[in-house]
Copies of this chain bind each other. A is one copy, B any other.
Amino acid sequence: MASITDVARLAGVSIATASRVLSSADYAVSAPTRQRVLEAATRLDYVPNALARGLHKRQVPVVGVNVHDITDPYFSEVVRGVEDRAGDAGYLVIICSSDRDPEREVSYVRLLRSMRAGAVIFASSGFDDPAFNAALDNHLAGMRAYGAAVVHLSPHARREPEVSVDNAGGIAAMVEALVALGHREIAFLAGPTSLSVARQRLEGYRDGLAAAGRPFDERLVEHGGLSQVGGAVGVDRLRARGASFTALCCANDLLAIGALRRFEELGIHVPRQVSVAGFDDIEMAAMTAPSLSTVRLPLRELGRRGFDYADHVLSGEQPEHEVMPTSLVMRESTAPPPAATMTAQLPTHTANARGVPA
């Protein structure tokens, strides 16, 4: 492995001069000298040692991305966006799947700090654990101390994200679209209140209702895990309670797909008897039967902007916070409501005309 010393020797210059031409900064070096150094470098197959360089620069061109789980399509898409831009800037991207485990997250950030990563991007939303947040803030402060950029793509410990997606606006738009289709009673399958993203989406549901002039009725809301099982359970709970609705809006696609499956099992036709809408537009959303109407999030772009933001911070700027718009994707799972409301048509255990729990 040739070092800069070998290159300098072969070129017959000092290592300072060799460094000046090799480090690609535009130092004033005479053309012939520069030439000789470049030749020596290629001859020796010189590859600079990023560790040595980083030791001096106090950081290395590496960006860590904190995700819930890299196999979750939401996050792999965001990571890919980060990678798109990182590649252009000569940065390597490290993935940190914390499985929403505060301890793992802290330990990853500590590792990133120890590696003197130039930036961390938090793609997954935070926890409300104070002890954990203190430890995390401590490491983040340590990172900022050596000049690293810290970027959040979702709410994190009460701090506003630097770049984010308009969760509330997206759900609100879907609710309004459902109202425009003629729905008057729209139920909502929310995620767990412990997740800030889920809270934002629930907020969007209220906003959409308000914008459409419809009242908010908490009996039409069910909380649960953001999974298919959660969707099935949500449908059952709503029905057991005799909730009356013609459309079901969900906090994410998995929830919606779970609901779709459950309705199918129950022999309830979507969208003829009930409309179902998701959120995220994961790949699977286009493949279900019926295909899912949902809200598309510009995830890859979110990742790109996240890196750009970090890049700007690294060059000493103070970039603007940014909220990226979502877009509606109406497919087969939504349609105008049937003449009567669901409970009037469907056999539920305890249903009554107005959806009041029996």
Could you tell me which A residues sit within 8 Å of B by CB distance? 1, 45, 47-52, 54-55, 60, 62, 64, 69-71, 73, 76-77, 79-80, 83, 87, 90, 92-97, 104, 108, 110-116, 138-139, 142, 145-146, 257, 283-284, 287-289
Contact = CB atoms under 8 A, between A and B. Distances in A.
Contact of A110 (B47, B62, B146): B47
A3 to B, nearest CB: 11
Given A51-B51, A115-B92, A257-B287, A83 B70 contact: yes
Contact of A49 (B49, B55, B69, B96): B55
A58 B76 CA distance: 31
20 contacts: A1-B142, A1-B145, A47-B142, A49-B55, A50-B115, A60-B115, A62-B115, A64-B92, A69-B80, A70-B79, A70-B80, A71-B80, A73-B73, A80-B97, A83-B95, A92-B94, A92-B108, A92-B111, A283-B284, A289-B289
Q: State the number of copies, please.
A: 2
Contact of A1 (B52, B64, B112, B146): B146
Contacts of A257: 287
Nearest to A113: B47
Contacts of A111: 50, 90, 92
Given A80-B70, A80-B71, A49 B116 contact: yes
Given A73-B71, A76-B71, A288-B287, A138 B45 contact: yes
A229 to B, nearest CB: 14
Contacts of A113: 47
Nearest to A111: B92
B70 A70 contact: yes
Given A47-B142, A70-B76, 8 more contacts: A1-B145, A52-B55, A70-B80, A70-B95, A92-B108, A284-B284, A287-B288, A289-B289
Contacts of A48: 114
B287 A114 contact: no
A18 to B, nearest CB: 16
A47 B146 CA distance: 12
Contacts of A138: 45
B83 A114 contact: no
A55 B47 CA distance: 14
A176 to B, nearest CB: 29
